[in-house]
Amino acid sequence: MSLLEVRHLAKSFGAVKVADDLSFMLEKGAALGVIGPNGAGKSSMFHLIGGSLKPGAGQILLDGADITALRPEQRCRAGIARTFQVPQPFSKMTVFENLLVPSAFGAGAAEPDGDRYCVQVLEQTGLLRKANQPAGTLTLLERKRLELARALAARPRLLLLDEIAGGLTEHETAQLVETIKEINRSGTAIIWIEHIVHALTAVVQRLMVINFGAKVADGSPGEVMGSTIVKRIYMGIEVA
Ligand SMILES: Nc1ncnc2c1ncn2[C@@H]1O[C@H](COP(=O)(O)OP(=O)(O)OP(=O)(O)O)[C@@H](O)[C@H]1O
Ligand SMILES: [Mg+2]
- Give the model confidence (pLDDT) of 24-80 as tens digits: 999 999 999 999 999 999 999 999 999 999 999 999 999 999 999 999 999 999 999
- Other beta carbons within 10 Å of 68: 15
Q: pLDDT digit string (tens) for 174-233?
A: 999 999 999 999 999 999 999 999 999 999 999 999 999 999 999 999 999 999 988 888
Question: Which residue lies with its CA nearest to atom 13 of ligand 1?
Answer: 39
What is the set of domains in the chain, with CATH numbers? 1-79+157-240 (3.40.50.300), 86-156 (no CATH)
Q: Which ligand 1 atom is nearest residue 42's CA?
A: 21
**How far apart are the CA of 39 and the centre of ligand 2, in A?**
7
Q: Which ligand 1 atom is nearest residue 43's CA?
A: 22
- Distances 100 to 83, 103, 162, 222 between C-alpha atoms, Å: 16, 5, 22, 40
User: Which residues, at least 6 apart from 134, have a Cβ–Cβ distance to it below 8 Å?
Assistant: 91, 92, 93, 94, 95
Question: Which residue lies with its CA nearest to atom 9 of ligand 1?
Answer: 44
